[in-house]
Amino acid sequence: MSSPRRSGSRGTGGGNRSSAESRRRSSSCAHLPSGGQTEDFSVSLSQPMVSITLRFLLAIDLWLSKRLGVCACEGSPWGGIRPLVRLVELSGHVVPWLVGSVYSLLRGGSAAEQEVMLNLALALLLDLVLVRFVKTLVRRRRPAQSRPDVLSSLWGERYSFPSGHATRAAMCARFLLAQLADGGSLRGLVVGWAALVGLSRLLLARHYVTDVGVGLAMGYCQYELVERLWVTWGCAQDVLLTPLGERLRRAYGGLWVSDWKL
């Protein structure tokens, strides 16, 4: 009496297992159309070579950017040097550069020095406009591990491509090399600073590798536009500074003291 029940139970269990396996097979196949693997393979082959290459390069960009973000936070592998890297990052921000150039312009000096500082300030403004235009056009989000800093939050930087620090560093490096840097050692320091600013954006996971690479190339080319639009000190006096100084004197009287050589 007992043996038939055991055999019956085994038969029932085997039937349940076989029916469960058949249901799993049927359910898994229900999501895949007939010839699904062949269709996916044919679609991948039908894609243009340019699209396949771009996807491959994008995958490398994402992988390499993630590997380089070793200072993204305090708990990162190189989190101990994060304050130093942030200091290098700050040296490429637009605020100290713009404030310094305007201060040097208002402080006075020779006409040649004021002309250089004026064009540096205009170059920084041009960089801001061009970078913001490209960022708004592309709308690439920043890396997921990026931690926004105070200046970026106040400046309203949401997009990643291209890196404004990289464009600014490359443009200012070319500007300094062309206008101020004379010695070979000083030139090496300027080029090394621009490279470190771009690298700091990668170590802090602020940007992708392509953002920094395109930013450096864009800033390098921007200086060509700055040279073509170079404003002489005499032209600046006639067009901008003299009318502005007269309006300020009329508005503020003796309170306005200008150090410009008008």
Q: Which residues are catalytic?
A: 165, 207
Amino acid at 230: W
**With 0-12 CB in 10 A as exposed, 13-18 as middle and 19+ as buried, what is 34?**
exposed
A 10 A CB-CB count for 46 gives: 7
What is the rounded distance in angstroms from the CA atom of residue 70 to the CA atom of residue 9? 60
The dihedral region occupied by 109, where left means phi > 0, alpha psi between -120 and 50, and beta the remainder, is: left
Give the ranges where 47-149 is alpha helix by DSSP (H). Answer: 49-68, 82-91, 94-107, 111-138
Phi-psi domain of 139 (left: phi exceeds 0; alpha: psi -120 through 50; beta: other): left
3-class DSSP assignment, residue 158: coil
